[in-house]
A and B are shown apart, each in its own frame.
Chain A
């Protein structure tokens, strides 16, 4: 399929979707360039799926405009549909059909040549490791297997713009990695644009060129994930010491130390380039004769960014008002 060079893959302006009094998507504007992998992050009910639904011509905007692949989602819905592929958040397979029949029907609806469709079916079914289930009825599949089939189907026709709404939810880590490397490869080879929503922050961090954080239907932050992390004001150093007050006084004077806070038995500092600052700080402590028991460094992750902007961690039960606990939870999840 031809694509007009230079046209942005997605242009959204003032897009709004209201359900009664609720603005599920509230005056959103953004631009995504061709070939970009763009992440939409946000807590449950933020409006991610609703935003995508409008972009894929499934829901009519209440206000605003959106263009996908240069086509208006309302006035040129047919053209938009020809340009896109989507993996829905909820199942959209025909459970009475076999995996093959589902894929075959998809190929037919997307106007694929029979031979090409055959070859592509082989390729995608292998990618999601369902070859031996190809002719089984979907009703007999496990949840993860359905998900994988759904992803295979979304990729079958090689769209220009691919929407993935929580594609890898409920999949095991190996499968997730496998699928992402395939999608990455496809994106590199064919220059397709990808919009994903995910609750796996490490996934978003690794994959996305840019991410947008959306809450209550509004975009509250949008940038490269590294820039978003930097915007938090640097790394967090936790220093365990019996005399945290004295240490705080000593370190607080340094220009490159941001926020400094004492908790019982420990001091947390915000600094940039934390790993280089540790030796300097230790030297100061030694000169003042203050004993330090341990130092830990926490680099901001996308989890922290998410928390900072939305006030929520990805898993609600892990929400805690205690910053150091939050930091530890985040770092444990990162290493684990």
Chain B
């Protein structure tokens, strides 16, 4: 019971902090917006993908991007908590570290899904075809995926001392994850090395699953992408808990 209360308040803290930083919300949507508005519509006139417009093909990929960036950032806030000292307060509190990780993961996921929904609205305004009935399943998937990525962020942050490392993570992990996910181009026609790399990238399955839920078509069955994501989710939460538990500040 007390652990649940603690989880609730930690979840709420993430939301309060998110709602107070307008620049974070705008900043997180700016790049995906430009991708979709410029590349999506610009390439749309020359490229056709499978059975639909390029914008329709790209929208789920960009949505996945918003969720990925937003979630990783939420997780990495642990580094800032450490720098500003708040981490110490949570470290000596009589709350299980697992509960802290869960509260943070749920809070970060909630904010990532809010960003995802905003992006979904933008995509629809730009002319992407998305059915209303598909939104709810997509939100559920986004939430699950966010928990996974926030946990990954927490796991990474637990091993870092300061925000300098964050740039490395963005450049050498998050950006490649995005570009190697089939968010921007179909993987079926991509060169072999890229295809193989994409198969070990959890982000690929996020894009596949979202594309399936929003457009009804994908290159792999939802059972496969969903199954792999479920497995990755458990793995990343365990990893985050383990590494967060080892923090000694």
Contacts and interface: CB of A to CB of B under 8 A. Distances in A.
B90 A93 contact: no
5 contacts: A84-B92, A92-B86, A93-B86, A104-B9, A111-B94
B88 A88 contact: yes
Contacts of A93: 85-86, 89
Nearest to A111: B2
Contacts of B2: 111
Interface string B1-28: 0100110111001001100110000000
A60 interface: yes
A111 B13 contact: no
Nearest to A93: B86
B91 interface: yes
Contacts of A56: 92
Contact of A109 (B84, B85, B93, B249): B93
Nearest to A88: B88
A187 interface: no
Interface string A69-82: 00000000010011
A96 B17 contact: yes
B95 interface: yes
A109 B8 CA distance: 10
Interface string B86-104: 1111111111100000000
A236 interface: no
A105 B92 contact: no
Contacts of A101: 13, 16
Given A78-B94, A82-B94, A94-B86, A111 B248 contact: no
Most chain B beta-carbon contacts within 10 A, residue among A82, A93, A101, A109: A109
Interface in A94-108: 94-97, 101, 104-106, 108
A105 B88 contact: no
A93 to B, nearest CB: 7
B88 A58 contact: yes
Contacts of B249: 58-59
Contacts of B6: 108-109, 111
A121 B204 CA distance: 49
Nearest to B246: A60
A59 B16 contact: no
Given A92-B85, A92-B86, A58 B91 contact: yes
A90 B5 CA distance: 27
Given A81-B93, A94-B84, A111-B94, 5 more contacts: A95-B84, A109-B94, A109-B95, A110-B93, A111-B6
